[in-house]
């Protein structure tokens, strides 16, 4: 797995590797506004993830997920270290849980 110094560096590299769509987190799925679609947990895989810790504040902590769907749609999801996890259903929590 590649190590990145900044979130923007990771995003730029992953975009160049085909992860071109922007995903948003919903309680039971991820959404792609540009394609106007919802992708449920059983229909996508987390290909890679990267943690970033803010230098000045823990509020700047985030995780970048590189995600691909069964239909071949590849995109990125940025989550502020579980900030929205309390709103997710169990399937989404399991899908986005980082396993080492």
Q: Which two tokens stand for residue 68?
A: 């691909």
The answer to whether residue 2 is domain-embedded is no
Q: Residue 52's Cα: distance from chain center in Å? A: 13
On the question of pLDDT at 20 being above 90, the answer is yes
State the Cα–Cα distance between residues 60 and 78, nearest whole angstrom: 12
Q: Are 24 and 87 in contact (CB under 8 A)?
A: no
The answer to whether residue 20 is domain-embedded is yes
How many domains is the chain built from?
A: 1
Task: Tell me what pLDDT residue 24 has.
Answer: 95
81 vs 18, 48, 51, 73, CA distance in Å?
Answer: 24, 15, 8, 24
The answer to whether residue 1 is domain-embedded is no
88 pLDDT band, cuts 50/70/90, is: confident
Task: Tell me what pLDDT residue 65 has.
Answer: 95
State the Cα–Cα distance between residues 47 and 84, nearest whole angstrom: 20
- Which has the minimum average pLDDT: 24-28, 29-33, 50-54, 79-83? 79-83
Q: Which residue range forms the structural domain that includes residue 53?
A: 7-96
């Amino acid at each position: 797995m590649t190590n990145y110094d900044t979130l923007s560096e990771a995003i730029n590299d992953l975009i160049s590797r085909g992860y071109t769509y922007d995903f948003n987190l919903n309680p039971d799925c991820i959404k792609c506004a540009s394609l106007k679609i919802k992708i449920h947990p059983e229909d996508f895989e987390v290909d890679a993830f990267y943690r970033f810790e803010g230098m000045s504040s823990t509020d700047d902590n985030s995780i970048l997920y590189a995600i691909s769907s069964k239909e071949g749609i590849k995109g990125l999801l940025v989550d502020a270290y579980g900030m929205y996890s309390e709103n997710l259903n169990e399937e989404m929590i399991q899908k986005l849980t980082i396993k080492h």
